[in-house]
Amino acid sequence: MMHPETFEQIEIPLSDLGPASRFLVEGGRIRVLSHEGERVSASMPEEVELEIKEAAPHVKGESKDAQFKSATTETGASVKVPPFVVAGDRVVVATGTGEFVRRAAKA
């Protein structure tokens, strides 16, 4: 990792980020807590914005319950998304649960 202001290189094992590390993208930000120059902890933000690379087609059913389909993000992580999400869309995912939060605002 690189500090965004000092450009200092910081080595952080992905295992320190836990399962949320599957949502880490190039240039993404993480929180690092240090004390007297020693890293104490590292964590992902609560939500990240990711591009959907592949999305399964929506199969219309007779269920009145909310339906979700599988999709693969730019990091390779699999998430469940609503039927209206297609490849190329940007979505917000909760890193703690891996759940779809919302479609990201278009720039």
Instruction: Give the per-residue SS3 of 40-80.
Output: EEEECCCEEEEEEEEECCCCCCCCCCCCCEEEEECCCCEEE
Residues, the chain: 107
Indicate if the pLDDT at residue 5 is higher than 80: no
pLDDT for the residue numbered 51: 96
Among residues 82, 84, 85, 89, the alpha carbon closest in space to that of 66 is found at 82
Indicate if the pLDDT at residue 79 is higher than 70: yes
In contact, 4 and 29? CB cutoff 8 Å: yes
Indicate if the pLDDT at residue 88 is higher than 90: yes
Residue range 47-103 in CATH 2.40.30.10: no
Cut 0.85: pTM above it: no
Indicate if the pLDDT at residue 63 is higher than 80: no
Question: 99 or 60: whose pLDDT is higher?
Answer: 99
Among residues 39, 1, 41, 47, the alpha carbon closest in space to that of 20 is found at 47
